[in-house]
Amino acid sequence: MIQIQPVINVCRILSVCLCILTLFSSCSRNRGLPPGDPDNGGLFLPGGFEAMVVVDSIKGRARHLAVNSNGDIYVKLRFADTIGGNAALRDTDGDGKMDVVKAFDDYIDKSSLGCEMKIHNGYLYFSSVTRVFRQKLTNDLVPDTEMELILTDTQPPRQHDTKPIAFDNEGYFYTVYGAPSDACQVDDRSPLSPGMDPCPILETRGGVWRFKADKKGQFQKDGEKIATGFRSVVGLDWNQQVNSLYAVAHGRDYLHNTWPREFSAWQGAVLPSEVFIRLDSGANAGWPYHYYDQIKGGYYLNPEYGGDGEKQGDVEMLTEPTVGFPGHFAPNDLLFYTGDQFPDHYRNGAFIAFHGSTSSSPYPQSGYFVGFVPMQDGKVTGPWEVFADGFAGVDTIVSTSDAAYRPMGLAMGPDGSLYISDSEKGKIWRVMYKGDKEGFGKDQLAAMEQRKRTASNIKTPDEVKDKIVSEGMDDIDEENLSRGGKLFNIFCSVCHQRNGKGNDRFPPLDGTEWVLGPKDTLINVILNGLRGEITVKGKTYTSRMPKLHMLKDDEIAEILTYIRQSFGNNASTVTPREVAEVRSANSTRVE
């Protein structure tokens, strides 16, 4: 007689064991990590990765961020005011979401934009564009310790002023003094304006300086310049494998818009390269005399110094970039990954947050994603990759204002998770790996490689097929635009956008008092440019408007007429005579 019961018991035991093993395997893969959001917070990621939104929005919006050893998050807010210059976040119930958000350090910082946030040796370091602070962390979420002023930039805030921070292993920190110019022109950003040679800005700007990390009250004279040739750097990090500093730099703008005879609109959209570069002492990235062309793979003379896209000049002393990314991606943070949560493919490689372009028109705006460069021992081991995309929320970003979110800051958590901040609404994502680390490879990267080849915000656009017109202007044949419209597209649209809506940096032209008000005011802005703080539709702008005084009276009149009668505007024309009268009164006539 067959004994059935013992067989059944054995099956049950085996079944339970299998369930336990399955559960253990699942727990092992997840390593106690919280579940990702069902849609990964709107992000596209490589296979095996999940993302969750840890905070949906932070009042004041987020710039850079740092994660403490206990999982608390510290965020540098966009502006420092009576609400607070920083934010502290904590998860109190263990679900991974930050349910406590507190603003702190309620100081007024007239140096405007917030920059960096880093934790180093128990201190919270943070900066604006002209000052670097630190504050001792305590067991409390919000530290009540002294806010120490470590470094002061005595010059008032200007374009490209940033203060990113990186620390070495010898008690120093590194930061940037940006160059308040596009290419060191006599008249900044004005079409056909030559560059100053030698460029006087390079004496005190356009480079990276080193300072004592624990010394209060420092000024630029107390530091040491270790690298030059940079217009703007927002992302710095120290590579522990090779004990060296690296940067991601913003290239110059307006190759086509200021030199339309030498560079096409397509060249202006894809050039020059945004470089990822190693900064050993004496490094030189070429600015303002040279730009890097990632397509040709070399440095070339800027047109302000006689360049035409073919002349290279003397490039012998320039530092070859680690990677040359396409133009205008706007790299705003850099992080070498040293955790062990992600597959080995990512260890010691570089994550880069691309904030996104404002000047790629008439092609799609580019960037708005997080990229990755595989590296070992400071050397690139493969092509750069798309790690996280989908921040913009739209397939084609015509104007910067179309993007729902723009990646800004990067930080690694104590468990190896990657945190990404957004500057538009203050959203923060946590990216985690839940897959099989040993099995990670080409299959898991395939979808992101496809995005690199096809996504309009990432791929290099086709010169003909990918040219676009702005939203609300689809019925306009650009080839048959008025002369004023064509001139506007060459000289004005790169900032104000072809739809006249502007972006975060440059004001809109639709229905504004500047456009629809007195003609003399508008003509003066074109002839003399505009600098300083202005308010348009209740929003403050500080970016400089270049002079366009080299244009003829009739050209200026047609541009202004086009502006005053487009984008929903319906104002009177501007005549060449009216322009001539204002020019004469200003004694700025150019024949």
Residue 50 has a pLDDT of 98
Pairing of strands 86-90, 100-104: antiparallel
* Alpha carbons 136 and 498: distance in angstroms, whole number: 48
- Residue 211 domain-assigned (yes or no): yes
Query: Which CATH number fits the domain that encloses residue 521?
Result: 1.10.760.10
Burial of 575 (0-12, 13-18, 19+ CB in 10 A): middle
- Residue 178 domain-assigned (yes or no): yes
Helix axes 553-564, 519-528, angle to 10 degrees: 130
One domain, residues 179 and 282:
yes
- Residue 80 domain-assigned (yes or no): yes
One domain, residues 232 and 375:
yes
One domain, residues 450 and 482:
no
**Quick check: 332 and 357 in contact, CB under 8 A?**
no
One domain, residues 432 and 525:
no
Residue 109 has a pLDDT of 63
Using CA atoms, how far residue 423 sits from 58, 110, 212, 548, 575, in Å, is 10, 19, 30, 32, 42
Residue 179 has a pLDDT of 96
Residue 112 has a pLDDT of 62
Residue 10 has a pLDDT of 44
One domain, residues 321 and 176:
yes
Neighbours of 513 (CB within 10 A): 11
DSSP 102-158: EEE-----TT-BEEEEEEETTEEEEEESSEEEEEE--SSSS--S-EEEEEE--SPP-
- Residue 197 domain-assigned (yes or no): yes
* Alpha carbons 401 and 295: distance in angstroms, whole number: 28
Q: What is the pLDDT along the chain (591 residues), one digit of tens a residue?
A: 334 344 434 444 444 444 444 434 444 457 689 999 999 999 999 999 999 999 999 987 899 999 999 999 999 998 777 678 999 999 999 999 999 999 998 776 655 688 999 999 999 999 999 999 999 999 999 999 999 999 999 988 888 999 999 999 999 999 999 999 999 999 888 888 999 999 999 999 999 999 999 999 999 999 999 999 999 999 999 999 999 999 999 999 989 989 988 999 999 999 999 999 999 999 999 999 999 999 999 999 999 999 999 999 999 999 999 999 999 999 999 999 999 999 999 999 999 999 999 889 889 999 999 999 999 999 999 999 999 999 999 999 988 889 999 999 999 999 999 999 999 999 999 999 999 999 999 999 999 999 999 999 999 999 999 988 544 444 445 667 899 988 888 888 878 888 888 877 789 999 998 899 999 999 999 988 887 778 888 887 877 788 888 888 999 999 999 999 999 999 999 999 998 998 989 874 444
Which of 454, 469, 500 terminates a domain? The answer is: 454
- Residue 395 domain-assigned (yes or no): yes
Instruction: Identify the bridge partners of residue 224 per DSSP, sorted by sequence position.
Output: 210
- Residue 460 domain-assigned (yes or no): no
Token pair in block for residue 93: 């119930």
One domain, residues 101 and 233:
yes
Which of 401, 419, 454 terminates a domain? The answer is: 454
Which of 454, 470, 495 terminates a domain? The answer is: 454
One domain, residues 499 and 353:
no
One domain, residues 432 and 301:
yes
Query: Which CATH number fits the domain that encloses residue 229?
Result: 2.120.10.30
- Residue 473 domain-assigned (yes or no): no
- Residue 345 domain-assigned (yes or no): yes
One domain, residues 489 and 539:
yes
One domain, residues 187 and 286:
yes
Of 175, 335, 351, 162, residue with least CA distance to 239: 335
One domain, residues 361 and 446:
yes
One domain, residues 315 and 243:
yes
Residue-range definition of the domain harbouring residue 277? 40-454
Burial of 465 (0-12, 13-18, 19+ CB in 10 A): exposed
Task: Give yes or no for a cis peptide into 288 (omega within 30° of 0).
Answer: yes
Domains of the chain: total: 2
Residue 479 has a pLDDT of 64
